Chains A and B, each alone.
Chain A
Amino acid sequence: MPSTAVAQKDGDLKHIILENRDKQGYLLKILEKAQETSPKLYLSEETMREVAHRLDIPLTQVYSVATFYSFFNLKPQGLHSIVVCRGTACHTRGSLALLNEALSMLGIKSFKEEEENSVTSLDGFASVRTVACFGQCALAPVVMIDGEVKSRMTIGRLVTLLHKMKKGG
């Protein structure tokens, strides 16, 4: 299963902010943790407002950071996650075909890699995203499925894994 995070309560966020506000790179840390602990793994408008308010910094700064870094999701994420590496080593070993296969199996019509970081199927079943490199290039192509890194992926294996995922396995 993907995240086992419980619903994010006000208290959690407060805690996260208190714990990190004096650290180096505090805003990244707070937003990363806030996203991780949110049930749909994203930063909602309320979360961002709350962070800005508690840190006493402009909302525009929070929003600018949240939109700048590809790690942050501004939309709710699917139940499952599939991350396809689009780094050079994986690209030369055929990762585009893997991405297309994953999209088509989940019924996702279009995904503009150059414009968005992730896309979620209409039924909210799964999100597909790309990453610049997992640093596992020696075992390319690499795909991460629900947090587990799978190396030397083939289309055949990906299809099997996605079928299993759809059956709830």
Chain B
Amino acid sequence: MSADLGALRKAGLMRLSGQTPWVSVGIGTCGKGNGADEVLAALETTLKNGKSEALARRVGCFGFCAAEPLVMAYRPGKPLLLFTDVKASKAPALAKALGDNEAFAKMAKIAEAKIEVWDFRTQKITYGEDFAYLPTWKELAFFKGQEKLVLRDAGMIDPESIEEYLAVGGYSGLIKAITTMTPDSLIEEVKKSGLRGRGGAGFPTWKKWRIMRDNALASPGESYIVCNADEGDPGAYMNRNEIESDPHMLIEGMIIGAYAMGASHGIVYVRAEYPLAVERLEKALAQAKKAGLLGKQILETRFNFDIEIVTGAGAFVCGEETALIASIEGKAGRPSPRPPFPAQKGLYGRPTSINNVETWCNIPLIVARGGEYFSSFGTPPSPGTKVFSFVGKVRNTGLVELPMGSTLESAVYGMCEGMGPKKKIKGLQSGGPSGGCIPSSLFKTPIDYEHLAELGAIMGSGGMVVMDQDNCMVDVARYFIGFTANESCGKCTPCREGTSQMLNILHGVADGEASEQDLKTLESLALSIKDSSLCGLGQTTANPVLTTLKYFKDEYIQHIKAKRCPAGVCENLYVALCESSCPLHMNIPGYLQLLKENRIEDAFELTLRENPLPGSLGRICHFHCRMRCRRDMLDESVSQGEIHRYLADSMYKMGREKSIYNKLIKEKLPASGKKIAIVGAGPAGLSAAFWLCRLGHEITIYDGSTEAGGILRWGIPAYRLPKDMLKKEITLIQKLGVKFVFNTPMESKEQWQRLIDANDAVIVAVGAGHETGLGIPGESLSGVMPAGEFLKAVSENQKPKVGSEVVVVGGGNSAIDAARSALRLGASVKIVYRRARAHWRKEYRFFA
């Protein structure tokens, strides 16, 4: 028998690292969705037609889902080459590269990375060294910091080949367990590893096994172990991938578990949406049986154990242990009260132990390499690694295997490379419907059971959905409660009725019809559902509500008070995405319509009513509206700035703005008798004056400099914003009756006191002109200058001395203004920016 295994192992090794070159394509569900099947078919045909001896191999998923299809190429003695985003049209070139070392070296030039050695943990394969210029796979951002224990085979071996699994040390844990260990010493080894359940709650696995073994011994007869592959958390798909890429690892883990716990039957409960996982698992089970590793007299001992698959039928609650058992028994999957616990009375009333897919998958390694090897990863309370799916608003979506205790930050901004400068990540949702939302300000948190729970979230099965400014947190909470309201089995009242009540309130908030009292009701409802529900589903359903209320309360308040959904998601609370994202909430659809009808004056009037400085702002706005423009998906966002500018420039040129100014002046409300002082004559102060003055208040603006405009006047160079334009637009504010007091820097407490005493209100609109600096040594050396100071000198026409070579640190607005100004002063300029060129604002890339 073992001779048989030896032959299989050898055959596998010949395929993986023998004399025959090969090319492999990662084929998991993700790969298939991205055309991996076509790539593999094209490679097969090309190799066949070329009468090549090289192989086209199917392998599992390497985890880098965003870059699928992923292809690797092998020639004996050379490193593996890794290619991302491969199209079927690449097949001829790839096939050719397998033919000789020269062509291979040429192909290496366009590879993404290389793999010189691969540590299968139970085996190491050295492929070869070469191509010094190519980064190794570990140097790619996505893989840096990952530690592949569970995913050690994924993407490297054919999941449908037991030979290849054996070749990389597969089933060596099982052989060791059965031939050299007792059940008790196995449980002891798992205890040493510190492994905790990967299905959510993190219960120590050895304890579960111990209890189960004791119960099975006390009550002779059938007993069951179950693999929970129901993976119902939307956003999590690591279990699917673990089965699809390496089904034998799961099988090996379960056989070892059965031996340790003395179980006679194994069941894998897979959700219905994972057909490929079921197919591969079925094949693997048949292979294992044929090899004598499963079934009767395993490895020629007296140990018998078999595994069956049950496919679920789409009910989230069936992930709960007692519901899962009911479901296997052919009933509706409704949970039942515990005790009795499944380990006492489980499936058909017999002792039953349930573990998550990934928990099982960790077992072979723990046995083969020892518990201490495993616990050398991660942290003492949470040893080992965990596979997470990072999805949603990040550049690199995919499966990331991290040592426990890594920070969220390292994963979101490191491996997943964030979202770039255009969008701001707001937080992430961890743990699915039972989990919570964590704001980006807490991304320094280490990822492990305790730390996530402290924040009110849970690790769950490891789904991490990243959200950015375009996601509304009220909508997120509403979405999750909608999900659980739908999935509640209906057995107990708090969960059934409570979730639908929470949902009603959340609908109200999203529709702008809720009050602050409703938020209090929402919170108390959430807490009582948590306390009084029968099963885990109800007990955790409130987490998304509680965490969004805790960390994103301001969004709820904006929905309630301002009746606005800042992200532009809740349909009743915004007009258009651009309108919603513009800080002035300009009626963009409105003036566009007027413009379309060629009513330029009316369009200008509508613009002016909301934006007193259209000509200036049109040139230098931060253009929030463009970050959300739907047109972006077609070609490019609409430049509202250009439209403000066009309207203003044409009106001023024709001198037709006067009648509109007069109209605004006439419309002024009667004097209110209130006096308001505004400190700062920059854009914020001017805007405040514009609206308050029209309401009939008496306004005085104080400013430390000699003219109005603030940053517009002193920070932005004239070639970007002509000073005449600014002056012209400020006259409107003067005409409305606003008084200006210049040369009055606010320096003393008494000055402020006097202002406060003499006015009904004081508005501080001093802007954010303070230089923060970089916080690195050498900033105070001579010749180093903050951009603001430099730009101010330029706009005062002082022609600051810059020398012949200038380095600008940064790539934002001020940096570019500074660079352009220095260029105009005759220097040669270099821009140093921390982001990649591709992540830089498009309109700036052109300067470089």
A, B co-complexed: yes
Residues of A within 8 A of B (CB): 23-29, 31-32, 57, 61, 64-65, 67-72, 85-93, 113-115, 117, 131-140, 142, 149-151, 154, 156
With contacts A32-B272, A61-B330, A151-B34 taken as known, whether A135 is within 8 angstroms of B310 at the C-beta atoms is no
Residue from B327, B392, B485 with most neighbouring chain A CB atoms (10 Å): B392
> Do the beta carbons of B327 and A25 come within 8 Å of each other?
yes
With A88-B429, A135-B240 known as contacts, the answer to whether A27 contacts B397 (CB < 8 A) is no
Give the one of A27, A32, A135 with max B CB within 10 A: A135
Contact with B463, one of A23, A31, A32, A88 (Cβ below 8 angstroms): A88
User: Knowing A114-B486, A132-B483 touch, does A29 contact B310 (C-beta < 8 A)?
Assistant: yes
Known contacts A132-B232, A137-B397: A68-B332 contact under CB 8 Å:
yes
Closest beta carbon of chain A to B472's beta carbon, Å: 10
**Given contact pairs A61-B330, A65-B330, A137 touches B237 in the complex (Cβ within 8 A):** yes
Q: Distance in Å from the Cβ of B597 to the closest Cβ of chain A? A: 28
Report chain B residues within 8 Å CB of A24: 265, 267, 308, 310, 328
- Interface contact A87-B234, CB-CB below 8 Å: yes
Closest A residue by C-beta to B318: A69
Residues of A within 8 A of B332 (CB): 64-65, 67-69
B389 near A138: Cβ-Cβ < 8 Å: yes
Residues of chain A with a CB closer than 8 A to B483's CB = 86, 132
**Least CB separation from A23: chain B residue:** B308
- Asked if A138 and B397 sit within 8 Å, CB to CB, the answer is yes
Binding-face segment, B15-23, B25-33, B100-108, B250-258: B25-33
Please determine whether A69 and B392 come into contact, CB atoms closer than 8 angstroms. no
Tell me whether A27 and B479 are in contact (CB under 8 A): no
B353-373 CB contacts (< 8 Å) to partner A: none
Give residues of chain B (453-500) contacting chain A, Cβ–Cβ below 8 Å. Answer: 463, 465, 467, 471, 476, 479-480, 482-483, 485-487, 489
Whether A88 contacts B432 by the Cβ 8 Å rule is yes
Q: Are A69 and B486 in contact (CB under 8 A)?
A: no
7 smallest beta-carbon distances between A and B, as pairs = A87-B234, A138-B65, A25-B310, A27-B330, A69-B313, A135-B237, A68-B332
Complex Cα spacing A71 to B271, Å: 10
Contact: B274 with A139, CB < 8 Å?
A: no
Given contacts A86-B234, A133-B233, A136-B237, 20 further A-B contacts (CB under 8 A): A24-B267, A25-B330, A28-B313, A29-B311, A32-B311, A67-B332, A69-B314, A69-B332, A88-B479, A132-B483, A132-B487, A136-B29, A136-B30, A137-B234, A137-B389, A137-B392, A139-B34, A139-B66, A139-B397, A149-B33
A117 to B33, CA, bound (A): 24
- Return A129 CB to nearest CB of chain B, in Å: 10
Q: How far is the CA of A29 from the CA of B471 in the complex (A)?
A: 39
Shortest CB-to-CB span from B162 to chain A, Å, is 23
> Taking the nearest CB of chain A, how far is it from the CB of B372, in angstroms?
34
- Closest chain B CB from A33 CB (angstroms): 10
Cβ-defined partner of B313 (8 Å) among A70, A91, A136: A70
Contact of B310 among A28, A93, A114, A133 (CB under 8 A): A28
Given A26-B330, A138-B398, the answer on whether A113 and B486 have CB atoms closer than 8 Å is yes
Task: Say which residue of A29, A72, A133, A156 sits within 8 Å of B234 (CB atoms).
Answer: A133
Q: Are A137 and B33 in contact (CB under 8 A)?
A: no
Max count, chain B CB within 10 A of own CB: residue among A26, A93, A137: A137
Q: How far is the CA of A90 from the CA of B471 in the complex (A)?
A: 12
Cβ-defined contact, A131 with B314, below 8 A: yes
| CA of A85 to CA of B4, assembled, Å | 45
Q: Name B's A-contacting residues (CB within 8 A).
A: 29-30, 32-34, 65-66, 68, 231-237, 240-241, 265, 267, 269, 272-274, 308, 310-316, 327-328, 330-334, 389, 391-393, 397-399, 429, 432, 463, 465, 467, 471, 476, 479-480, 482-483, 485-487, 489, 503, 633
For B34, the chain A residues whose CB sits under 8 A away are 139, 151
Are A28 and B235 neighbours in the complex by a CB distance under 8 Å?
A: no
Q: Chain A: which residue is nearest B392 at the CB level?
A: A92
Residues on B with C-beta less than 8 A from A28 are: 310-313, 327, 330
**Chain A, residue nearest B232 (CB):** A132
In the complex, the answer to whether A138 meets B485 with C-beta atoms within 8 Å is no
Collect the chain B residues with CB atoms within 8 Å of residue A139's CB.
30, 33-34, 65-66, 68, 397
In angstroms, Cα B727 to Cα A70, docked, is 66
B308 in contact with A89 (CB, 8 Å):
no
Indicate whether A134 sits within 8 Å of B29 (C-beta atoms), given known contacts A61-B331, A93-B392.
yes
Partner of A71, one of B240, B265, B314: B314
Q: Which residue of the partner chain B has the closest CB to A150?
A: B33
Q: How far is the CB of A38 from chain B (nearest CB, A)?
A: 15
How far apart are the CA atoms of A68 and B491 in the complex, in Å? 12
A131 to B483, CA, bound (A): 11
Q: List 25 A-B contacts (CB under 8 A).
A: A24-B267, A25-B310, A61-B330, A61-B331, A69-B312, A72-B313, A87-B234, A88-B235, A88-B392, A88-B463, A92-B467, A113-B486, A133-B233, A133-B234, A133-B273, A135-B29, A135-B237, A137-B234, A137-B235, A137-B463, A138-B391, A139-B65, A139-B397, A140-B397, A156-B633
- Select the residue from A24, A27, A115 with max chain B CB neighbours within 10 A: A24
Whether B482 pairs with A114 at a CB distance below 8 angstroms is yes
Task: Identify the closest chain A residue to B235 (Cβ).
Answer: A88
Contact A64 B331 (CB under 8 A): yes
Q: Is the CB of A92 within 8 A of B465?
A: yes
Cα distance A92–B142 when bound, in Å? 22
A151 cross-chain contacts in B, Cβ below 8 A: 30, 33-34
How far apart sit A142 and B234, CA to CA, in the bound complex (Å)?
A: 12
The CA-CA distance from A136 to B570 in the complex, in Å, is: 26
> Are A136 and B310 in contact, CB atoms less than 8 angstroms apart?
no
B271 to chain A, nearest CB (A): 8
- Select one of B267, B273, B391 contacting A89, CB under 8 A: B391
List chain B residues, Cβ under 8 A from A115: 486
A152-B661 Cα distance, complex, nearest whole Å: 50
Interface centre among B66, B265, B310, B476 (most CB of A within 10 A): B310
When A65-B330, A114-B486 are in contact, do A140 and B392 touch as well, CB less than 8 Å?
A: yes
Collect the chain B residues with CB atoms within 8 Å of residue A88's CB: 234-235, 391-392, 429, 432, 463, 465, 479-480
Give the docked Cα–Cα distance between A135 and B230 (Å).
11
Cα–Cα, bound, A93→B233 (Å): 17
Chain A hits for B480, CB < 8 A: 88
What's the Cα separation between A32 and B683 when bound, in Å?
66
Contact in complex: A133, B33 (CB < 8 Å): no
Distance in Å from the Cβ of A158 to the closest Cβ of chain B?
A: 13
Which A residues touch B241, using CB under 8 A?
135
A133 to B465, CA, bound (A): 13
Q: In the complex, A28 Cα to B271 Cα: how many Å?
A: 12
CB distance from B299 to the nearest CB of A (A): 24
Alpha-carbon distance A64/B316, docked complex (angstroms): 16
Contacts of B312 in A (CB 8 A): 28, 69, 71
A residues near B463, Cβ cutoff 8 Å: 88, 137
Q: Which residues of A contact B274 (CB under 8 A)?
A: 135
- The closest CB in chain A to the CB of B276 belongs to A135
A91: chain B residues at CB < 8 Å are 234, 479
What is the distance, in angstroms, from B417's C-beta to the closest C-beta of chain A?
A: 14
Contacts of A87 in B (CB 8 A): 234-235
* A88–B465 CA distance with the chains assembled, in angstroms: 7
Are B633 and A154 closer than 8 Å at their CB atoms? yes
Nearest Cβ on chain A to B261's Cβ, whole angstroms = 18
